[in-house]
Structure 1
C-alpha cells in the first residue's frame, strides 16, 4: 500500500513538473511573438512596443500584460497606458481583453492630437479553425476630445458596443473565403460641434469574400485581394435618432479593378437637413440628402462609379482609388 502511494505521488509530481515546464515554455513562446511586433517598421506592418511586458496566469491561464504601449502605423501613433489579453489553457481559441485609457492619438503628418477615454471596457475574440467566430468590444462613458489647443470635446457616448459575427452559411472552404456580419451600437451620443445630443445610433454591415484564415490577413495587400475575390460590403442599415430627427441609410458597395468604390447608398431622413444646415451649405446638403417630399422626409440615392460620386445623375465629387 505504501509503495503504491509513493508511485502515485511520483506520477503526480512528474505530471506537475512536466506541466510547469510546458507552461513556461509556451509562456516564453508567447513573449517572443509579442516582442517580435516591436521589430516591425511601422510602415509596411504596425509596430507595437511595450515598456513593460509581463506573461502570467500560471498554471491554467495565459495573461499577456502590456504597460505603456505605443502602436505606430505610418504617421499615426497610439499610446495605451495598459492592456491585457487572457486565455485559458484548455480554451486557447477564446481570448479576453481589456484596455485602460486614455488613448492618446497623434498624427505626425497633420499635427493632430486627440484623446479617447472611458470608464470601463472589455473585449472578446473567439476563433474556430482560425476563422473569426465572434469578436466583441464594449465600453461605457466614452469621450473623444481634441488635445491640440486645450481639451475640446468632440463627441461622447454613454455606451458603445461593436460585434463581428461569422456567417457560416457563406463560408466557402474550397476558395478559403468567409463572410462577417458587423453590428455597432452607440447610446446617448453627444457632439457639441454639430449640436447633437441624446442620440442613439446603430450600424449593421455584412462583408463577404474575406480570407477565412486570419493568419493570412496582412500577408499581402488586403483590398486588391478582396476585390479580385468579388467581395462586397452590404450596408444593411445605418440608423440614428435623437427624438427630433432621424436618418436611415442602406446600400451595397464594392471595388472595381482600379480600386474605385462602386455601388449605391440610399438615404432616408427627417429633420437632418435642418440640423446640419449651419454646417453644410447648399447645394451640397440637397445633393446628399435629396429634396423633401410632401411628408417632409428627404430621400436620395448616392451612386459610386467610375471614380466618382453622384447624386442621381448629378456628379458631386471625384474619389481617390483605395489601392
Structure 2
C-alpha cells in the first residue's frame, strides 16, 4: 500500500494552533506573576510608610483596605481612613471617608490619589475645635524616584468648610477651588532640593475675611516661586525647618497676589529662616485699591478710624507710586530680620513668631 505523504500536515496544523495559545498562556502567567509582585511591593511600601509615620507620631489606619486593578493597574483602596497625631504638641485626629491610590503597573512610581469627603479634623486639647470640610472632587498626583519626589499636584474643586467650637459653628470657605503644583526645578535653577512652586486659589466667600471687612466678596490668590535646599523626606516640621535654615535655603517669590473686590495685594522678594528660628528676607509689597480698602475697614468698625486714615495717608509716604494690572497702587519695601517686619527705618517693626527652637 502506498504511503500517504499528507499525514504530517495535521501535525504542523496542530502546532500552528497550539503554539500561539501556549505562548499567550506563558505571557499571561508571567504578567500575572509580575502584577502579583508589584502589588505585594505596593503593600510593603504602604506598610513601610505607615511604620515611618508612626515613628514620627502619626498613627494611620484604614477601616477597609484592598488592592485591586489586575491586570494593568494597581489600585489601593483605604476606606474609613483615620490619622491620630500630635499637632504642635497637641492631640489631633482626622477622619476621611475614602482614599484611593491608582498607578499603572508598568509605572508604579507615578501615583494618582483620589479622596472622597467629608473630612473631619479634631483638636483634642482642652480648647479643642472640630473642622469639617467637603468637596466636589479632590485629586493629587505625584512622581517619586529613588532620589526623592520629582513632582506633585493637588486639585480640589468645590471646597467648603466650617469650624465648630462647643455649640458655635463658623463657616470658613464657600465654593473654593485649589490647584497646587510642585516640580523639580529645571534649567539654571536646577539643583538638589530645588522645586518650582505654583498655586491658584479662588473662593466665592472666605467667611473670616468677609466678617472682618464687613461685606462678602469673591477672593482670588496666585503664587509663583522657587524654593531651594529643601528636604522633602518625612520628618517633623520643626526639624524640616531647622534643616532648611541650616542649609541656607530660600523661598524666592516671583508673584504672590491676592485680589478681593477692588483691592489687590502683590508681593515679590525672597524669604528664608535664620538659625534662631525667625523668618528673614526682603519683600516688595504693592497695594492697589487703598482708598476702597480704607473705607471698607472704616465702615466695618473692626479697626479704629485712625488705622484706616493711616492706610490712605501713610502708605504713599512710606512707598512710591506703582500699578498692578493697570490699577494705581502704592509700592512699599519690607525688611524681615530679628523676628520683625519693618516698613521703614523709623517705624517700629511688627513682631513675628519663631517657627522652630534652635538646638
Query: TM-score normalised to the size of structure 2?
Result: 0.77
* Higher fraction of helix: 2
Q: Is the 8 A contact 2:133 2:162 kept in 1?
A: yes
**Take 2:311 and 2:43, find their aligned partners in 1: how far apart are those partners?**
50
2:138 is the counterpart of 1:121: yes
Q: Is the 8 A contact 1:291 1:299 kept in 2?
A: no
Q: Is the 8 A contact 2:80 2:96 kept in 1?
A: yes
The correspondence for 1:108, drawn from 124, 134, 147, is 124
Please, which moves more after superposition, 217-226 or 279-288? 279-288
Following TM superposition, by how much is the alpha carbon of 1:142 offset from its aligned partner in structure 2, in angstroms? 0.9
Aligned residues: 316
**Take 1:320 and 1:285, find their aligned partners in 2: how far apart are those partners?**
29
Match of 2:205 in 1: 190
Judging changes above 3 Å, is the alpha-carbon distance between structure 1 residues 40 and 273 closer, same or farther for their aligned structure 2 residues? farther
Q: What SS class does the counterpart of residue 21 from structure 2 fall into?
A: helix
Match of 2:226 in 1: 206
**Take 2:312 and 2:142, find their aligned partners in 1: how far apart are those partners?**
37
2:353 is the counterpart of 1:319: yes
Q: Which structure would you say has the larger Rg?
A: 2
Provide, for residues 1-40 of structure 1, a one-character-per-residue CA deviation record: whole Å limited to 9, x for no partner.
2235434433332232232233223312322332345545
**Take 1:254 and 1:312, find their aligned partners in 2: how far apart are those partners?**
20
2:235 is the counterpart of 1:218: yes
The correspondence for 2:338, drawn from 287, 303, 306, is 306
Q: Is the 8 A contact 1:53 1:67 kept in 2?
A: yes
Q: What SS class does the counterpart of residue 138 from structure 2 fall into?
A: strand
Q: What SS class does the counterpart of residue 80 from structure 1 fall into?
A: strand
2:107 is the counterpart of 1:91: yes
Q: What SS class does the counterpart of residue 312 from structure 1 fall into?
A: coil
The root-mean-square deviation of aligned C-alpha atoms, in Å, is: 3.0
Please, which moves more after superposition, 111-120 or 297-306? 297-306
Q: Is the 8 A contact 1:69 1:80 kept in 2?
A: yes
Query: TM-score normalised to the size of structure 1?
Result: 0.84
Structure 2, unmatched stretches of 5+, are 1-11, 211-215, 322-327
